[in-house]
Structures are given as C-alpha cells and as structure tokens.
Structure 1
Amino acid sequence: MLPDSMSLSVVPVPMLLLDDEARVLGCNIPAQEALGKSERRLIGLHISDLFSPKVEIENLFARLTPYSGVSDHQICILATGMPVSLHLGCHDEGISALFIPEAARAEVEQHAKRHEMAESVARIALEMAHEVKNPLAALRGAAQWLSEQKDIPTSNREAVAQMLLGVDRIRDRIDAFLQVGPRAQVAMEMTNIHALIQDVIVYQKGIQVHRVFDPSLPETLVHPARLRQALENLWQNAVEAADSSIEWQTRMAPLVHLPGHSGQVMEIRITNDGRMVPQELRERLFDPYVTGKSRGSGLGLALVERVMVEHGGRVSVRSENGRTTMTLHLPIKQLEQE
C-alpha cells in the first residue's frame, strides 16, 4: 500500500498515477522525460495513449486486483517504440504505473546470468564432493596411520606431517568451495533480520558502525544460518576495506520486483568508506575465485550470491565517490507462503 504522504517526486524511476479509468492523474519528472511530455500534457491521457500494444495493456488491467501488482515486459512507449517493463499496482490513492526503460533492464539480465553461474558452480561443487573428498579422506587416513608408527625415521615423520598439513589444506579449500554448492532442503524459520545483522557485528577499533534500521520491517521466512553466513561475509569485506565508517541500512523496497515473488521485498545495505572495487572486477565480483584483495579465497561473495539464489533474492554492488555499497534484496515471506 502506498503511504498517504508519498510524493511522486521522490520515486527514482518513471511513474504515473492513474485513476480507475486508467487516465493520468499525475507523474514524476523521470516519467515526463521518458515520455517527452510535460505533466500538464500528460494529465487526462489514457495509458493506451502512451504505451502499446493495446492488447497487452488490456490484459494487464484484467489481471489487476485491489492491493496487488502485475507486470508485463513486452510493452513499448507509443511515441518512440522504446521497450519498457510496465508494473501496475492498485492502491487507495489510485493505480500506480511504473515503467522501466530497456536500458535499466540490463542490470536485471546481469542478475539472471549470475544466478545461472551460481547454479553451474553448485553442480560442479557437488561433483567435487564425490570425486575428491572420498579419496582425500583415504589419503589422510593412510598418512595418519604412518605418523603413528613408532619405528618411522625422523625425516620421514616430518614428511608425513607435511603431508597431513597439505591434505588438511586441500580439505579446507574444498569445504570452502562447497559452501557455494547446492544445499539440501532445510527448514526455514521466521527471523528478525535486524537481530541477525546485530549478531554479525564485531566492533573494530577505529571504525564507527552506524545502523539505520526500518522499524516497520517484518520478520520473514529465511534459513537463518545460511543468511548469517552471507551477512558475515559482507561484514568481513566491509571491515577489511573500510577507512573509518561502516553503515548498515534496512528498508522496504516497494519498487523492486523479484522473479517468482509477487509480495513485498526488503532491502539490506552495507556501506563502507574505504577503497573502491576495481572497475574491471565489478561485473565478475560474485564469481568464484574473483577477488580484489591480495589475500583471500575469492569465495566470500560467491557464497553471498548462492545464499541469495537459495532465498529467491539478489545481491548487487555499487562503488563510487569513495563509498562501496553491497545491497541485498530479499522477498518477504510468511509461514503460510512456505
């Protein structure tokens, strides 16, 4: 539901407010720029005077019910032919019509590609579990048996000790990689996101931590242990990069649509004021073994990506003007939606 005090001017994407007959009551500046018309010229026009094809728009309105939202990605601006995604929402104040130009859909497509990558990595990880861990366990058992023999020469005992260390390092590496692998079905729990964030914060000397939490944010159905892993990785990255400040922020994200989810979405952000993410890494930052740090496995953000896939959400990064922000979008789900 749109708040009564909501102003169209604060909405960062093109938005129209329509009456019950789908005629324009008002609009924001981005909508005027995208449609090439002033608000005065737009008011009173029917939405089919602005977008096509008409049959798609009629189908959208036929599916729209009170306090719901519907979307169509096959719409064009009538005057220019520019493809857009059109999202309709029915509220007390009228019907909201948000439209996202084709250029802004590149980010959504990038998220979809990253999700495909995460699924591919998951399959590889599962194969590794069968192909590597079993013989590795046998190798460690044999090395452990050798180390326990009393008549083994000292030089050989040192070699066996090094062998055990090497095997353990390989095992730890595989275990870390398997964190981005597929997970068995686990019971989801109603969880307070703010409590989860607070749990992962470990105060660091010289770094101020700010929290800007939306108190209206409801509990949501998640796997708390897995989500905590993701939040811990984001926190650790921020601590390693920050100069003096880290900020956590939560809020509702009414303009965000997640594929396969028709309900509300929450947004979790963590921002630090430290070094920027190199431009050449930003598109691949969530791929396994990609890192901008001199030391690090490159698996932390791949795990975050995997956890978001498991929850039907997504993660994105913005690094500019001396600040780097990691943003999670999570679907808000209740027990009856399980």
Structure 2
Amino acid sequence: MTTVEPPQRILDNLTTAVLAVDRGLRLTAINPAGEALLEASAKKVLGHRLSELLAPQQPLLAALDEVRASRQPLTARGVILELPGNRSLTLDCTVTPLPDSGKGEGPPALLIELNQVDRILRLTREESLLDRQAANRVVMRGLAHEIKNPLGGLRGAAQLLERELASAELKEYTRVIIHEADRLRNLVDRMMGPHQPPRKRHINVHEVLEHVRLLVLAEVPAGLTIERDYDPSLPEVHADSEQLIQAVLNVVRNSVEALEGKGTIRLRTRVERGFTIGGHRHRLVLRAEIEDDGPGVPPDLLEHIFYPMVTGRAHGSGLGLSIAQDIVTKHGGLIECASRPGRTVFMLYLPLENGHG
C-alpha cells in the first residue's frame, strides 16, 4: 500500500524555498528552506510585506508585479536577490498566481519558488578547492620530511662542533646555526597544522566566538569594533574547542591586520539546511561568518589565500588561514571567502548532525 505524504510535510522537506503571498504581497506561508534563505523564522516574517523584508528595487519584486498584472506564471533565471547584511544570492525564480485568488477585483495571491543557483557554482569551486588542498597536504608532508631530516643532521653537527671550539666568538656562529635550524623546524611544524586529531565534544560555538572576541579586543587598539549577530537557536556542534578557537582566531586576526587597527568586524552565526560539503549532503550545517569592512582581498590572491606561505602583506607568514582551513577540514567542514572592497566575509561551515539527528 502506498502512503501519500501530507502536503505540508512535503513542503517542509523541499530544498527549494517556497513562499506564498496574499494580494497585498504579505507573506502567508514559508517552508524551512525559505526561512534559511531569508535567514529569518516564519514567526518573524509571516504577515510582513516582501518589500519590508528585502532591499528596495529588487528584480524579484519587479517579477511579482509582472505576474500580478498578467496573471500568468513567470520563470526568471539568474535573478540577483539582495538581502539585509549586504548578502546577495543568485536565484532561479518561478512565480505562479494561485487559483481562484484573483477572481473579482485586485491582483492574485502568488506562489514563489526560489532555487539558489550560486550553490551549484559554490559546489564546483568547493570540489576543486578540497582536491587541491588534499594534494597540497600530501606535498607538504613529503616536503616536511625532506626538510626535517637534514635539519636534524645540521643541528647535531653544529652542537658537536660547538663542543670542540674554544673560542666564544666561534661558538656564537654555531649558536646561530642551531637557532636557525630550530626556527626552520618550527616553521615546518606550523605549516603542517595541529598534530593531534580533534578531541571532539559538544560545545556552544558562541562560547568559542566570544573567547576569540575578548582575546582580540585585548590585543587591538580602540579604533576597532567587533559586533555580534548570533542565532541563539543554534544547537551545539561536535568539535574540539581548543582547535576551533585557534581556527577562528587565525581568521579574525587576518581581518584585524587587513583593517590596520581601524574598522568593524562582525561575527555572525546562522544555520544552513540541506548543505553539501565535500560531496556529502548535510541536513543541518552551522555557518559562522567573520566579516570586515577593510580593503578586501586582491582578486589574484582570492583563490590561493588558504595555501601555506600565500599572503598579501609584507610581514605576514601566510600560515594563519592555511592552518584554520586544515583544522576546519579535520572537523568535516570548510572555509570559504568572498571579498570586494569594503566587505570581506570568511564563512566557516561545520556539520551539525552529530548528536542532533
């Protein structure tokens, strides 16, 4: 016997955002995918006009007006949707007038379906990024082995030579050799990231962000502001607290250096539904954003900033973001970056399934 899913349950499990609006363009229904897209709960948005929820002069609002006038379905592709917080999405949009809603005077109620097509582009970039990072780690492990072996021999020979030297001035040269060998070894260790696997437990990601925020505020001058925009409904994430603090701290310090002591950093948390990381689709994913209003990442560096030794600053080591990405990858997550002058956002994605269904 075949069972038929109730319509509401089907809507709730769709990855397509589905919205319904009345004749006055007030939101009357929204599914969970729609809530995730607008980053707002149904309780918060139902009853509000779409024009109150979106930035003005939106192509989506123009499409709705066209359907209201023609009473004919409309599909528009590649529609740019501007959302609060300077967020923009690329969508395929289908607008359908609801049956019987337009009888008599006045425009019809509408059903709106929104498919986020920039996710397809993101998945392609992500797959390429993860492949390159895996290959990079293999190369780095081999390189670290090849560097450490001769360094150990060099250091040992310098120590033996130092014992045979009577002159304090000559011993100073052997100390320089030993010091530089140790410095190179430490650099290689840092390039490889944390040696220990994550010791995961259920933690509140906001405690991690707050710890980092207080650390950074103690380090930076008074001209820099750190704002918070947390989603209090987030479940706990299964992660190594210390490693996650290190990853977030590296990203925030990168923003601090870009701002040169003056500007605003925003820490934001949200939930993503039906999100794919590394070919695996997760029902729920945590998205933690570190946003700054600095000059932005140079376009020629944007695709390479997570590689070791890649930096746009004269005195940067180029290791902070590489280590952060390595930590997050070991947690089954991913870091991405979107940047333009005046707005750079690093997005940390971590699966939320563990222990939460």
- Scaled by the length of structure 2, the TM-score of the pair is 0.65
* Equivalent-residue separation in structure 1 for 2:119 and 2:212 (angstroms): 33
Asked whether the 8 Å contact 1:140–1:167 carries over to 2, the reply is: yes
Cα distance, 1:129 vs structure 2: 3.9
Which residue of structure 1 lines up, in the alignment, with residue 271 of structure 2?
252
Which residue of structure 1 lines up, in the alignment, with residue 248 of structure 2?
231
Match of 1:295, SS?
Answer: coil
* Equivalent-residue separation in structure 1 for 2:137 and 2:240 (angstroms): 18
Cα distance, 1:185 vs structure 2: 4.6
Asked whether the 8 Å contact 1:249–1:269 carries over to 2, the reply is: yes
Cα distance, 1:10 vs structure 2: 9.0
Which residue of structure 2 lines up, in the alignment, with residue 311 of structure 1?
331
Question: In the comparison of the two structures, how many residue pairs are matched?
Answer: 272
* Equivalent-residue separation in structure 2 for 1:137 and 1:178 (angstroms): 18
Pick the aligned partner of 2:221 from 200, 205, 212. 205
Match of 1:152, SS?
Answer: coil
Change in CA separation of 1:336 and 1:144 when aligned onto 2, cut-off 3 Å: farther
Is 1:299 the counterpart of 2:319 in the alignment?
A: yes
* Equivalent-residue separation in structure 1 for 2:139 and 2:349 (angstroms): 26
Q: Deviations over 1:2-57 (max 9, x none)?
A: 999748599469xxxxxxxxxxxxxx9878999xx9474349xxxxx99xxxxxxx
Match of 1:263, SS?
Answer: strand
Change in CA separation of 1:285 and 1:130 when aligned onto 2, cut-off 3 Å: closer
Which residue of structure 2 lines up, in the alignment, with residue 324 of structure 1?
344
Pick the aligned partner of 2:183 from 165, 169, 174. 169
Which residue of structure 1 lines up, in the alignment, with residue 303 of structure 2?
283
* Equivalent-residue separation in structure 2 for 1:247 and 1:158 (angstroms): 49
Is 1:264 the counterpart of 2:310 in the alignment?
A: no
The amino acid of 2:202's aligned partner reads M
Cα distance, 1:321 vs structure 2: 4.5
Cα distance, 1:125 vs structure 2: 2.5
Is 1:132 the counterpart of 2:147 in the alignment?
A: yes
Q: CA RMSD in A?
A: 3.8
Q: Deviations over 1:138-194 (max 9, x none)?
A: 3323323443x37522332121011012102211210111118xx665442111111
Which residue of structure 1 lines up, in the alignment, with residue 97 of structure 2?
none
Asked whether the 8 Å contact 2:267–2:288 carries over to 1, the reply is: yes
What are the residue-to-residue correspondences of 1:1-338 with 2, within 5 Å?
6=30, 11=37, 38=67, 40-42=71-73, 99-101=115-117, 105-147=120-162, 149=163, 151-179=165-193, 185-201=197-213, 202=215, 203=217, 204-206=220-222, 207-242=224-259, 243-254=262-273, 256-258=275-277, 259-335=279-355
Asked whether the 8 Å contact 1:305–1:315 carries over to 2, the reply is: yes
Cα distance, 1:336 vs structure 2: 7.3
Asked whether the 8 Å contact 2:295–2:340 carries over to 1, the reply is: no
Identical aligned residues as a percent: 27
* Equivalent-residue separation in structure 1 for 2:147 and 2:132 (angstroms): 22
Change in CA separation of 1:179 and 1:317 when aligned onto 2, cut-off 3 Å: same
Change in CA separation of 1:253 and 1:208 when aligned onto 2, cut-off 3 Å: same
The amino acid of 1:250's aligned partner reads T
* Equivalent-residue separation in structure 1 for 2:304 and 2:206 (angstroms): 29
Q: Deviations over 1:243-286 (max 9, x none)?
A: 22211111112364333133211111111222221122112222
Segments of structure 2 that go 5 or more residues without pairing to the other structure are: 1-11, 14-18, 20-27, 40-53, 77-91, 94-110
Q: Deviations over 1:291-321 (max 9, x none)?
A: 1111112122122222232222222222225
Which residue of structure 1 lines up, in the alignment, with residue 23 of structure 2?
none
Change in CA separation of 1:221 and 1:9 when aligned onto 2, cut-off 3 Å: closer
Asked whether the 8 Å contact 1:118–1:305 carries over to 2, the reply is: no
Change in CA separation of 1:144 and 1:151 when aligned onto 2, cut-off 3 Å: closer
Asked whether the 8 Å contact 1:208–1:245 carries over to 2, the reply is: yes
Match of 1:208, SS?
Answer: strand
The amino acid of 2:157's aligned partner reads A
The amino acid of 1:209's aligned partner reads I
Segments of structure 1 that go 5 or more residues without pairing to the other structure are: 14-27, 44-48, 51-75, 78-94
* Equivalent-residue separation in structure 2 for 1:97 and 1:33 (angstroms): 15
Which residue of structure 2 lines up, in the alignment, with residue 81 of structure 1?
none
The amino acid of 1:244's aligned partner reads G
Cα distance, 1:104 vs structure 2: 5.3
Q: Deviations over 1:83-126 (max 9, x none)?
A: xxxxxxxxxxxx9965344x652222111111111111211222
